Amino acid sequence: RCGGLESLYCKEWGCETAGTAYWQPRSSWDLITVGQGHSTGTCERTGWCNPLKIEFTEPGKRFRNWLQGRTWGLRFYVTGHPGVQLTIRLVITSPPPVVVGPDPVLAEQGPPREIPFLPRVPVPTLSP
């Protein structure tokens, strides 16, 4: 009923799930809420920005498939706005290895001392 990516998942009224609008769209099952963010200035290319504030809902915080990600359609309530596709996906990166050493304390101590060799002493046995 709400369509797919070709209609930005908003083929008809009633499909909107999260956003900031006078009709307060809400969904108990959606993974995010989307609202208007605070502008930090103008964008370099276009001269205008429309920053978004995206928050995870409780179901979104429990969702375990963020590596695959989820895609939403996003439309601004403006005449003629074609909309955009928004994908949120978790990307895990490993930090670069940190080189450790040499330890200056060990350099001050010097090499380990040799332990003197102690001869083996036979253990006496008792016989009946």
Torsion of the alpha carbons at 51, 57, 62 and 63, rounded to the nearest 10: -60
pLDDT of residue 124: 73
Please tell me what DSSP assigns to residue 113.
P
How far is residue 18's CA from residue 74's CA, in Å, rounded to a whole number? 10
How does pLDDT run across 84-109, given as a tens digit for each residue?
Answer: 888 999 999 999 998 887 777 777 77
How far is residue 31's CA from residue 70's CA, in Å, rounded to a whole number? 9
Per the structure, the count of domains in the chain is 1
What range defines the domain where residue 44 resides? 5-88
Give the CATH number of the domain where residue 44 resides: 3.90.310.10
pTM value is: 0.58
The answer as to whether 95 is a domain residue is: no
Of 8, 56, 9, 10, nearest to 32 (Cα)? 56
Averaged pLDDT in 10-residue chunks for the chain of 128 residues: 80 71 66 80 69 87 93 79 87 90 74 76 71
